[in-house]
Amino acid sequence: MPARLPFLLGLARLIDAGNGLLGRACAWLTLFLVFATAAVVVLRYGFGIGATALQEAVMYAHALIFMGAAAWTLQRNGHVRVDIFYQRFPVRRQALVELLGNLLFLLPVCLFLGWNSWDYVANSWSTFEGSNESGGLKFVYLQKSIILLLVVSLILQSLAEIIRYSYRLAGHEAAREQEVQHG
């Protein structure tokens, strides 16, 4: 293997690093989710105090955990899959299945989701939409933007996967060695 990675593999690595950073940051939000949810329950049932802003912050964190870490989960091959035949396929056939899955399913679904949610998010931003609840958070537009974060991060990760699987399909060892390093 040459000392320098080809440009596209370097780009894939950069995307992996960005989505890894985002995913790990979102994973830390689970700690907040646990403690904030416990606080809401204790405040409500122990003291009869409603904590609307804290409840909404829990919803925001929940959305960010799942949508913000989706690309990182894809990168780490952590999504649920039903593979009866895939595990027995040779490396190049697995690469073909992954490549086609990204091109025919993941990218079109992400583009569809982005297209259909753009106006929803843009309208929320145009009014800086806030909570309808008194005492609620004034950042509903940010919460809705998490949908676009999901779309962008998944598209980028899909492109990184397409690059890697294309190299594998072409028989280049660099893609396999890079996978060992990042996974």
Could you tell me if residue 54 is inside a domain? yes
pLDDT digits (tens, 9 = 90+) for 144-178: 999 999 999 999 999 999 999 999 988 876 555 55
Could you tell me if residue 132 is inside a domain? yes
Cα angle 127, 131, 135 (rounded to 5 degrees) comes to 130
Model pLDDT, residue 21: 96
Cα distances from 126 to residues 115, 120, 129, 141, 149, in angstroms, run: 17, 10, 8, 9, 18
Model pLDDT, residue 180: 47
CB atoms inside a 10 Å sphere around CB 150 = 22
pLDDT digits (tens, 9 = 90+) for 21-54: 999 999 999 999 999 999 999 999 999 888 899 9
Q: How many domains does the chain have?
A: 1
Q: Per-residue pLDDT averaged across 100-118, rounded?
A: 96
Q: Per-residue pLDDT averaged across 67-77, rounded?
A: 94
Could you tell me if residue 1 is inside a domain? no
Residue 63 domain boundaries:
7-75+89-182
Contacts of 39 (CB under 8 A, 6+ apart): 51, 54
Model pLDDT, residue 89: 87
CA distance 142 to 64: 10
pTM: 0.85
Cα angle 86, 170, 183 (rounded to 5 degrees) comes to 55
Could you tell me if residue 84 is inside a domain? no
Model pLDDT, residue 4: 57
Share of the chain above pLDDT 90, in %: 69
For the record, the structure tokens of 20 come out as 């890894």
